[in-house]
Amino acid sequence: MTADSQLAANQGQPVAGSEKIGVIGSGVMGSGIAQVMAIAGHPVVAFDVDPGVVAAAPGLVAEGRFGIQGAVARGKMTEAEAEAALARIDFTTDRDAAAGVDVIIEAVPERLDLKIQLFRDLDKECPEHTILASNSSGYPVQALAVATDRADRVIGWHWASPPPVMKLAEIVRAPQTSDETTETICRLAAAAGKNPVVIKDSAMSWGYVTNRVYGAMIREANAVVAEGVASREEVDQLMVDCFRWPSGPYGMVSGATTGWKAGKK
């Protein structure tokens, strides 16, 4: 059943999981985002320019540390549900396949020039109704919106690593983003088990809320280390012991950039 026929069958009301999702960039974040959206019932086309990434992604999603088989082992999902979710994801190097969707979630490297060019291209390639969401860690969403002729359908949807585990859905609303786009993305995030919080886009800063506040902490941690007050390892241990955080500030950086594959930091 296509997304349109599902909508029609439901008398115009969207059904959970009916939207077709395109994920652009299938690295640490994109592969996990594809997994989450497939588990939520969406057909997902996950595109990457690197054939090696495309070849490795299905194994990661099935058997990786935060993969679907782990959810089966913990009793959160049946084997049949896992197989159905895996079958809903198409990892591909065919960008046209990823463009013909209802919602794009962009997860290419954190380079503004790359993201602007991608949004410019996707605006031409995607159907008119398609929402373009960015998983940027902090670039102003309005910089991406103005590269398109669909600024009302451009929004930030910032996830945390690893996507299958973390509840973060920092929804960044640019001045041009419409109510409808914001509501759709919040609905999709909530249906996928996340906690959407809508924040205002800022042209004057990098990091939205999460990474601005986190950046302030890292700057102070670096000052502590530079002054010789404590080592990085000691800072991490103290913050874990004091605040019951799962990781200290330095462990957080290495975990996020490796997808937490090496074990808990």
Ligand X SMILES: NC(=O)c1ccc[n+]([C@@H]2O[C@H](COP(=O)([O-])OP(=O)(O)OC[C@H]3O[C@@H](n4cnc5c(N)ncnc54)[C@H](O)[C@@H]3O)[C@@H](O)[C@H]2O)c1
- The site for ligand X (CB under 6 A) is made up of 24-30, 47-50, 53, 107-110, 118, 135-137, 159-161, 256-257
* Between 104 and 186, CB nearer to ligand X: 104
Residue 168: strand, helix, or coil: strand
Beta strands (DSSP E) in 43-120 are 44-47, 89-92, 103-106
Helices then strands (H, E): number in the chain? 12, 8
Bridge partners (DSSP) of residue 134 are: 106, 156
Shortest distance, position 49 Cβ to ligand X, whole Å: 4
Shortest distance, position 139 Cβ to ligand X, whole Å: 8
* Between 62 and 172, CB nearer to ligand X: 172
Q: Which residues contact 93 (CB under 8 A, 6 or more apart)?
A: 47, 48, 49, 51, 54
Shortest distance, position 259 Cβ to ligand X, whole Å: 7
Q: Do β-strands 154-158 and 21-24 pair in parallel, antiparallel, or remain unpaired?
A: unpaired
* Between 27 and 41, CB nearer to ligand X: 27
* Between 49 and 216, CB nearer to ligand X: 49
Task: Give the residue numbers marked as catalytic.
Answer: 137, 158, 170, 211
Point out the residue whose Cβ comes nearest to ligand X. Answer: 27
Shortest distance, position 227 Cβ to ligand X, whole Å: 28
Which of 161, 153, 152, 163 lies closest to 44, judged by CA?
Answer: 163
Residue 246: strand, helix, or coil: coil
HSE-CB of 212 using CA atoms within 13 angstroms: 13
